[in-house]
Amino acid sequence: ITPFALGLALTRPDLHVVALDGDGAALMRMGVFATLGAYGPSNLTHILLDNGAHDSTGGQSTVSPQVSFAGVAAACGYASAVEGDDAGLIDELFASPLLDGPRFVRVAIRRGTPDGLPRPTITPPDVKTRLMRHIATAGSNEGAR
C-alpha cells in the first residue's frame, strides 16, 4: 500500500495520506522506505503495525524484533520516525504539525485476528471503483492533519 500512498500523496498534495503497513509486508519491501524518504511528501504519514508475524499468510514469525523500523525510516530521510508499544504514539503523531517530509510510526501490536471479524462483502473491482470515486471527490478539509 505504501507505493500507492506515495503516488497519491504526490499527485494530491491537498490530501493528507495515511499508509497502514504491516511488519511482514515492510520487511518484504524494504526499498519502499528509501523511495518514500527520497520523494519526501510532507502530506504522507506511514504507520507500521508490528505483530511479529505474517498474519495474513498463516502467522509465520517475522524478524521484526531485530529491526528498528524507525531507524530505517530515519536513515532513509523521513522527517520524523518513532516506535514503541504504546498506541498513543499514533495520537501524538496526528496531534503534531506536519513536517518537511513524511512521518513514520511503528507500533507493536498483538498477533491474531479478533473473533467475528467481518470479511469484505464487495468484489475487488467494486473496491477499486469506490476508492477512485472517493479520491476524486476528497477535498483538503477531510482527514487528519
**C-alpha distance from residue 92 to each of 4, 20, 87, 110, 143 (Å):** 25, 16, 9, 21, 16
- Of the candidates 54, 1, 53, 8, the residue with the CA atom closest to the CA atom of residue 32: 1
Measure Cα distances from 113 to 55, 66, 99, 119 in Å. 8, 24, 34, 11
What average pLDDT does this structure show over 99-113? Answer: 91
pTM: 0.86
Q: pLDDT tens, 52-97?
A: 998 878 789 999 999 999 999 999 999 999 999 988 899 888 888 8
In the chain, the domains with their CATH numbers are 2-137 (3.40.50.970)
Q: In the predicted model, what is the mean pLDDT of residues 116-144?
A: 82
